[in-house]
Amino acid sequence: GESVGLHLPTLSVQEGDNSIINCAYSNSASDYFIWYKQESGKGPQFIIDIRSNMDKRQGQRVTVLLNKTVKHLSLQIAATQPGDSAVYFCAENQGSASKIIFGSGTRLSIRP
């Protein structure tokens, strides 16, 4: 869930390795989840989404896994590249509330 008032955690990964970024969501009624990438000085950019009737979705080099039992979402990035350095946020549509709420982000740092 969200860590109000805390700064973003950092994940450091060797270039070429796979990255796994985790997110816990709070609302069991949420039915749509999105991962965003935010580079320094820019707005968030859509990476991949998943609906609650799925538990896995794959894109190009990215996979999102959804575990509704424990309200957990993860983003896997294969063969991490320097261009993947950014802050990654998960977001959820809280059911019938018609709004997208962001979770706490993770800063991904790539080691050469």
Here's the x/- map for other proteins, 67-106, by CB under 8 A: it reads as ----------------------x---x----xxxxxxxx-
How far is residue 70's CA from residue 22's CA, in Å, rounded to a whole number? 12
Residue pair 57/48 in contact by the 8 Å Cβ criterion:
yes
Q: Residue 105: in which H helix or E strand, if any? A: none
Is residue 2 part of the contact set for other proteins (CB under 8 A)?
A: yes
Q: Is the Cβ of residue 34 or residue 86 nearer to other proteins in the bound state? A: 34
Q: Which of residues 29-48 bind other proteins (CB under 8 A)?
A: 31-32, 34, 42-46
